[in-house]
Amino acid sequence: MEKLIDKGDEWEGLLKGELLKKTDGMLTRPFVIIGFSYLSGQLFAIYFGAGVAMIATMLGFCVFLSSLLVESTRCKRVIPIVLLSFISAVGIYSFSFCNCFDQVKRFIGKDAIISGTICELPYEAYGKHYYVVTADSIGNEDCAKPIKIRISSEEAIFADVYDRIKTRVRLFEPENKKGFSPKIRYASKGILMLGFLNDYENTTVTPGSERPLYYWALKCKTAMMQSIRILLPEKYASLADGILFGDKSGLDDQVKTAFTDSGIYHLFAVSGAHMAIIAQFLFLALKFLKIKKWAALGATIGIFGFMLITGFAPAVARSGIMSIIYMLGIFFNKKSDSLNSLGFAVFLLTALNPFAAGDIGFLLSVSATLGIILLSKHIEKFIFDKLKKYSKINSIIRCIISVSAVSIAAILFSLPISIFVFNKISLIAIITNILVYFSITILIICTLLASIFFFLKPFIFLAEICALIAGVSLNYITSCVDIVNKFPLATVPVNQPFVLIWFAGSLLILAIALIFYKNAHLMKAAGVLSSIILSCGILSYQLVNRNVIKLSVLDVGDGVSVILTNSKNAAVFSCGGDKFRARDYLSDFGVKNLDFMFLPGFSDNEARFAKRFSEICEPGCVILPKSKNDKEDLAVNVSNKNIHYFDSDVYVNFWGNISAKMQRKGGKVWTKIKVNDISILICPHNADAGEISSEYLTCDFVIFNKIPKNIDKIYSIYAILSENKEDYRDNLKKVLLSDKIPLTTAGDGAVQLEFKEKEKVCIRRCK
């Protein structure tokens, strides 16, 4: 990658204020200011919302006019340009948000017949089929402008990209919350609504008459992915598709979690590294023409083709634009400025798409590239200078150091975004990136060649050779991931106070070092001090939370999911509601082993996602009530070899001081957990407390989704309601009348009980 990036003295220049110096009254790098100011404005607007963005636009415009009136700021030009770029991004976002979502607001929550064109390749994930449709009519109305909708379906529809479809769907909006919500992430892809198809009989599909260039690019992508699936084993083919094309639909959650924990999940976001490898390969392969210019032009065409195949995702477009600028610089004998090229790419993409900053892949790509441009050369020089004292550096060590410097620089600059998105820090990310760097280069080139040679019958043997090399590379990469993830403290959850303290402290130290910058020693001291703060935080966290037991009632909407954790072990009681909340909770808290899964029944509120969850987490033991048709129930709900059934009662003791007993009465299963001397009762859905044994009725906490009949017979201090925001107010009154202290999820986050000492419980809210 570093060959495509001009690693001049940008960092040194930035520290000395020389990056933005003037030449003949003009800034040498105008797009650095414009692009990153515009991106900052978009990020501000996304995080604080359209309402705040509108106010900020008006205030910012006043400040901008004031800066023009002050001679000192007007002459420098930098401040007015920054202000104008910032407020333009904020204002355009605010206008676009209102304009886009106001036109779809009236359709939310309704069943409607939509008619439109399938504009992306259909795909399957999590047992459902997905279709992105550009709708030109909804209900009985023609849309003023096409509206992009992502439709999900339990059954496959026999439709291809650019086919016309007419069907009835239930329309709803993606989850909307402050900051980088799913609503904004979908909007960054142009999708404004989601829909669920529930009328298969009246769904009509008509072959499309239009066949634009993008259609043929998508068909080419489909053919290449199919060839990879033929040439490689299934488990490797999905990985190869994900790394080469960014198609994650074939990856299971275990793979995604493993790659995230090891710090190389960025491989599934086609961005700078992929584009640099492909561009450099094309450039070197075309050099046989003996004319460097034509090799650069051919590489430019190849880069554009790859951008087209991968769908012009923001991260791909950013890296593609930079690579094209570099190649065109070679063609016209002009040296490109990597930092200014990055600024231009950022400005172009954010100006064309007011929601572009909501794409996490784009932000990771920009931040990592900025880190490489500004920092990698200096890290490399620092390591060289230290090692020269001890031995002569040969070419292999020099190459390893160069790769390490690039990885460290990219990881450091993308760290804030990784923390914000993944809620964890991978302490082994640098090691893993160094281990897999060369194999990723080989994998991308060999997979690309294999998918091309596959269709050239005389050269199909070359496709098989390339596929063999790609398979060996994938085997090596997955082995590295498995090994490094076994390291203790491989990942650290960031939802702990010490991580936020470390992050804030590191930013403060860096700011002080930049303000008082005189030489490199101050920056080194800042880095060492930041590492010491992080190490102390991790150690203190481990000591304080050693053997601390936590019981969390997750905020899963309509259903109950309860997770008990002890260090790196966990037990799940009930699997109702949103499956992703339970999965994300275990991942965020670094839980590696799911020892038990207790299922009280097979209703949606108790076991809606039990099968999927058991596949993701692989519980050591599943305990569930025996059914008259247990084979059918098991096939629908759970998938695990170590399954234990019970008829009426079951008692389990685990982790030394924890017990769980379940009792079936009237077709309902009640669960009572005892931690130290604190007892927690989990009520089944639509239960009657008058039917259960008296030993279950006395507890410290009672948990339910729907209030049980005869709740007055349950003697507890607290009642935890796991329910939707719409339902909790009425139930809150009933709980208060039963002389219990109510605690509720209701969209506000999980309720967590922390058991530190005997008969002592801390109650927390866990977002």
Q: What is the pLDDT of residue 386?
A: 74
Give the C-alpha distances (Å, rounded to integers) separating 650 from 124, 631, 664: 39, 20, 9
- Side by side, the strands of the sheet bearing 760-766 are 643-646, 621-625, 593-598, 569-575, 561-566, 549-553, 750-757, 760-766
Amino acid identity, residue 377? K
Q: What is the pLDDT of residue 630?
A: 47
Q: What is the pLDDT of residue 323?
A: 82
Q: What would the pLDDT profile of 88-120 be if each residue is shown by its tens digit?
A: 999 999 999 998 888 888 888 888 999 999 998
More confident residue, 284 or 659: 659
Tell me what the mean pLDDT of segment 211-232 comes to: 90
- Side by side, the strands of the sheet bearing 678-682 are 649-654, 658-665, 668-675, 678-682, 701-704, 718-721, 741-744
More confident residue, 518 or 646: 646
Distance CA 540, CA 284 (A): 52
Give the C-alpha distances (Å, rounded to integers) separating 89 from 327, 354, 529, 649: 30, 7, 36, 62
**457: burial class by Cβ within 10 Å (0-12, 13-18, 19+)?**
exposed
**Which of the four pLDDT bands, split at 50, 70 and 90, describes residue 12?**
very low
pLDDT at 536 over 80: no
Distance CA 146, CA 118 (A): 12
Distance CA 751, CA 745 (A): 6
Q: What is the pLDDT of residue 19?
A: 47
**Which of the four pLDDT bands, split at 50, 70 and 90, describes residue 3?**
very low
Q: What would the pLDDT profile of 183-210 be if each residue is shown by its tens digit?
A: 999 999 899 999 998 777 788 999 888 7
What H or E segment, with its residue span, contains residue 195? Answer: strand 191-197
Question: Does residue 130 contact residue 124 with C-beta atoms inside 8 Å?
Answer: yes
Distance CA 485, CA 428 (A): 8
The percentage of residues in the chain with a pLDDT greater than 90, rounded to a whole number, is 17
Q: What would the pLDDT profile of 159-171 be if each residue is shown by its tens digit?
A: 888 999 999 999 9
Total Cβ atoms within 10 A of residue 349: 23
Sign of CA dihedral 352, 353, 357, 361: negative
Q: What would the pLDDT profile of 614-670 be if each residue is shown by its tens digit?
A: 666 678 888 888 775 544 444 444 455 578 888 888 888 888 778 899 888 877 888
For tokens 């990784």, the residue is 418
Q: What is the pLDDT of residue 74?
A: 67
Distance CA 619, CA 596 (A): 6
What H or E segment, with its residue span, contains residue 661? Answer: strand 658-665
Q: What would the pLDDT profile of 586-610 be if each residue is shown by its tens digit?
A: 766 666 677 888 877 766 556 666 6
pLDDT at 695 over 60: yes
Q: What is the pLDDT of residue 688?
A: 84
Instruction: Extract the tokens encoding 425.
Output: 């820090």
What residues have CB less than 8 Å from 318, skipping those under 6 apart? 271, 272, 342, 345, 346, 349, 362, 365, 366, 369
Question: Does residue 722 contact residue 560 with C-beta atoms inside 8 Å?
Answer: yes
Question: What dihedral do alpha carbons 129, 134, 137, 142 form, nearest 10°?
Answer: 170
In this predicted structure, which of 36-45, 222-231, 444-453, 700-709 has the lowest mean pLDDT? Answer: 700-709
In this predicted structure, which of 61-65, 88-92, 745-749 has the lowest mean pLDDT? Answer: 745-749
Q: What would the pLDDT profile of 299-331 be if each residue is shown by its tens digit?
A: 888 888 888 888 777 778 878 888 888 888 777
Q: What is the pLDDT of residue 347?
A: 93
Q: What is this structure's pTM?
A: 0.76
**Which of the four pLDDT bands, split at 50, 70 and 90, describes residue 2?**
very low
Question: Does residue 376 contact residue 403 with C-beta atoms inside 8 Å?
Answer: no
Question: Does residue 764 contact residue 548 with C-beta atoms inside 8 Å?
Answer: no
User: Which is nearest to 465 in space by CA: 443, 446, 440?
Assistant: 446
User: Which is nearest to 482 in space by CA: 261, 252, 244?
Assistant: 261
Average pLDDT, the chain: 80
Q: What is the pLDDT of residue 337?
A: 81
**Beta-strand pair 22-23/424-426:** unpaired
Best mean pLDDT range from 216-230, 242-256, 398-412, 564-578: 216-230
Q: What is the pLDDT of residue 5?
A: 40
Q: What would the pLDDT profile of 455-465 be if each residue is shown by its tens digit?
A: 988 889 999 99
**Which of the four pLDDT bands, split at 50, 70 and 90, describes residue 573?**
confident
Q: What is the pLDDT of residue 480?
A: 92
In this predicted structure, which of 27-41, 171-185, 228-242, 395-409 has the lowest mean pLDDT? Answer: 395-409
pLDDT at 221 over 60: yes
Q: What is the pLDDT of residue 16?
A: 42
**Which of the four pLDDT bands, split at 50, 70 and 90, describes residue 736?**
confident
DSSP letter at 177?
A: -
Q: Helix or strand or coil: residue 198?
A: coil
**Which of the four pLDDT bands, split at 50, 70 and 90, describes residue 270?**
confident
Beta bridge partners of 744: 721
SS (H, E, C) 67-136: HHHCHHHHHHCHHHHHHHHHHHHHHHHHHHHHHHHHHHHCCCCCEEEEEEEECCCCEEECCEEEEEEEEE
- Alpha carbon of residue 356 to chain centroid: 15
Instruction: Extract the tokens encoding 672.
Output: 């009572």
Distance CA 281, CA 270 (A): 16
pLDDT at 494 over 80: no
User: Which is nearest to 371 in space by CA: 339, 410, 398?
Assistant: 410
Distance CA 767, CA 757 (A): 24
